[in-house]
Amino acid sequence: MAGTQLAHQSLRLNTAVPISVWRRSSAAPNYWGFPVYKSLENKRLGVLNSSKLTVGSLVTVPKSTFNVEGLVDFLYEDLGHVFDDQGIDRRVYDEGIRFEDPITKFESLNAYLFNISLLKTVFRPQFQLHFVKQTGPFEITTRWTVVMEYMISPWKPEMVITGTSTMGINPKTGKFCTHVDTWDSIRDNNFFSLEGLWHVMKQMSTFKTKDILGKPKYQILKRMANYEVRKYVPSLAVNGTE
């Protein structure tokens, strides 16, 4: 109540701002990350008072110089090369990009690319992209599965991690400036996560069983702590007699 009264006193407004039924305006986004809204047609929404003072008029909105939807399409193509010889296109990443997952953290493009190269050398990564979508004015989220075989170990254990990557976009450059990974299988995703480290060590100490002839093939869509969601590949069974 105190916060609401203070806001009314400072802005000299008498009505609250409804937010649950607003739609995003076609106006360009602003650098502070606040979405700009306009009212639905013929509805008295999005207006703070009768003087037609809108949320968007409180700040000067600079015009965007990039297309977020274009970056979504770009990631669908570019992430397919994350672990191959072509690699990702470094031109769309800020030099000071900040990367973080439960057990890794750094803040430079060179370290970002070195980490990818290291994973490709030590493991044999298979990256499976499930979707890419815009989740904020300057944010894109991807969902993925990565399967990695630890090549240094004699028994070559297989590690499977599923999760999401939240990619922040620098509104001044149109390049990715943050990349934060969240793993489905653990609760504590903040760096440095002992739970995340234990999850990795546990998988790397497990012997990989050989594929059994006739065993259904499947893709792991989501691996949680106690269960996983699989997509099975259709198979054809043939019975015959001599």
Task: Give the global pTM.
Answer: 0.68
| pLDDT in the model for residue 109 | 98
Residue 159 CB contacts under 8 Å (≥ 6 apart), including other chains: 123, 147, 148, 149, 150, 200, 203, 204
3-state secondary structure of 70: helix
3-state secondary structure of 73: helix
Please report which confidence band the pLDDT of residue 18 belongs to, taking 50, 70 and 90 as the band edges: very low
Mean pLDDT of 199-226: 77
Mean pLDDT of 118-139: 96
3-state secondary structure of 222: strand
Q: What is the CATH number of domain 68-209+216-230?
A: 3.10.450.50
105 pLDDT more than 70: yes
Question: What are the tens digits of pLDDT across the range 23-78?
Answer: 334 443 333 343 433 333 333 333 333 334 343 433 443 455 679 999 999 999 99
| pLDDT in the model for residue 174 | 95
Domain ranges of the chain: 1-63, 68-209+216-230
Residue 188 CB contacts under 8 Å (≥ 6 apart), including other chains: 102, 194, 195, 196
| pLDDT in the model for residue 215 | 64
Closest CA to 26 of 41, 44, 42: 41
